[in-house]
Amino acid sequence: MPAPLALNERPGAIGVLTVDDQAIFRAAARDVIDATPGFESVGEVASGAEALAASDGLRPDLALIDVRMPGMDGIETTRRLRAARPETVIVLVSLEDAVEIGPAAQRCGAVTFVRKQELCPDVLARVWATHGRR
């Protein structure tokens, strides 16, 4: 069961939505987000459909979206989220290398790809510094 959804509780913080079918990665991502100054987890969901439903209310600044999920995968979730909320910066995440993900990942609207095992506060901050809208 995904964590309860909450609006950004710290004004000025970069609100992050994590989308992954694996609870263990959602927890790890939350730890990274909590350890990154200026960032706040605004929600965690287990599917692409849940991400689309939650995004209007949560208004995430940044979304971490797993590429491989049952049902709607991360590529399609990214396409739909970009159409619905073009202001949200989307990062695809996966255990696989970018080469293994394929060209569809490069064309779906995500700003970058990060291997899950490389996600850390420095990477999160660097992604925002490079691709963020503030």
pLDDT tens for the 134 residues of the chain, in order:
444 444 545 568 999 999 999 999 999 999 999 999 999 999 999 999 999 999 999 999 999 999 999 999 999 999 999 999 999 999 999 998 776 776 777 789 999 999 999 999 999 999 999 999 75
Residue 107 within a domain: yes
Residue 133 within a domain: no
Contacting residues for 15 by C-beta, under 8 A, at least 6 apart: 7, 8, 40, 41, 42, 58, 59, 60, 61, 62
Structurally, the chain folds into a number of domains equal to 1
What range does the domain containing 93 cover?
A: 14-128
Residue 96 within a domain: yes
Residue 6 within a domain: no
Residue 18 within a domain: yes
Supply the CATH number for residue 122's domain: 3.40.50.2300
